[in-house]
Amino acid sequence: MALTAVYSISGIAVNHISDWNPNYQITKEFQSIPPIQGESREDIIRQALASLQLEEAPRNIFRPDPSTLQLFYNQKTISVDLPTGNVLIERTAQRRVLFEMNQLHLNRPKKLWTYIADLYAVALLVVAVTGLFVLKGKNGITGRGAWLTAIGVVIPIVYWIYYCRAN
């Protein structure tokens, strides 16, 4: 039950990756500080840290272009537009539980998890195949069950043909 929940919930989350970020919650905050005009890189950094009232030293500092200063902290990136003083603070946090589910679903841990996931897949296959023969009579595989099974086979085939023609 737990593994089915992991794979199905994560499956829905990852399917919609073009609409949202299933692993991280990224929040943006905007601030404004006085424009910075330093003579040297060190001077620019010193002014930015002072204006932003940051006491903790950043993990790393980078300037992607002459007008931008980026300060990297743990799960936080501060981008300063030097000529205007506009500041973007971007915070990143893992989505609790969903992040772990996605990691398991996409087999990020690899190693032992690969075999656990294989075992689960085989178990699902056994349930699916033996499930065909559980019901007897008109609702079983010789009656309604045959139609339901056929629908399950036809849907992916028809969609795949449609997809190939559309692309």
Partner 1 sequence: MLASVLLVSFAWSSGDPKQYGKPLTVKKATKVSEILANPEKFDGKRVLVEGPIVDVCAKRGCWIQIGSDKEFEMIQFKVEDGVIVFPMEAKGMKVRAEGILSVSTLTREQLIEQARHHAEEQGTLDQFNPESIKGPKKVIRLNGEGAVITK
> Under the criterion CB under 8 A, does residue 98 sit at the interface with partner 1?
no
Which amino acid is located at 55 in the chain? E
Kindly report the length of the chain: 167
Closest separation in Å from C-beta 49 to partner 1: 15
> Under the criterion CB under 8 A, does residue 84 sit at the interface with partner 1?
no
> Under the criterion CB under 8 A, does residue 112 sit at the interface with partner 1?
yes
Closest separation in Å from C-beta 149 to partner 1: 31
Q: Among residues 59, 124, 142, 162, which is the contact residue for partner 1, using CB under 8 A? A: 59
> What would you measure as the largest C-alpha separation in the chain, in angstroms?
87
> Under the criterion CB under 8 A, does residue 24 sit at the interface with partner 1?
yes
Q: Among residues 7, 35, 63, 141, which is the contact residue for partner 1, using CB under 8 A? A: 63
Q: Among residues 65, 137, 153, 164, which is the contact residue for partner 1, using CB under 8 A? A: 65
Task: Tokens for 21, please give them.
Answer: 């970020």
DSSP 87-142: EEEEEEEEPTTHHHHHHHHTTSS-THHHHHHHHHHHHHHHHHHHHTTTS-GGGSTT
> Under the criterion CB under 8 A, does residue 113 sit at the interface with partner 1?
yes
CA distances from 35 to 81, 89, 97, 139 (A): 8, 16, 41, 75
Window contacting partner 1 (CB under 8 A); options: 48-56, 99-107, 124-132, 135-143: 99-107
Quote the CA–CA distance of 132 and 9 in Å, as a whole number. 25
Give residues with Cβ within 8 angstroms of 149, minimum separation 6.
Answer: 132, 141
> Which residues are at the interface with partner 1 (CB under 8 A)?
2-3, 6, 17-18, 21-24, 26, 41, 58-60, 62-66, 70, 72-75, 77, 92, 100, 103-104, 106, 108-109, 111-113
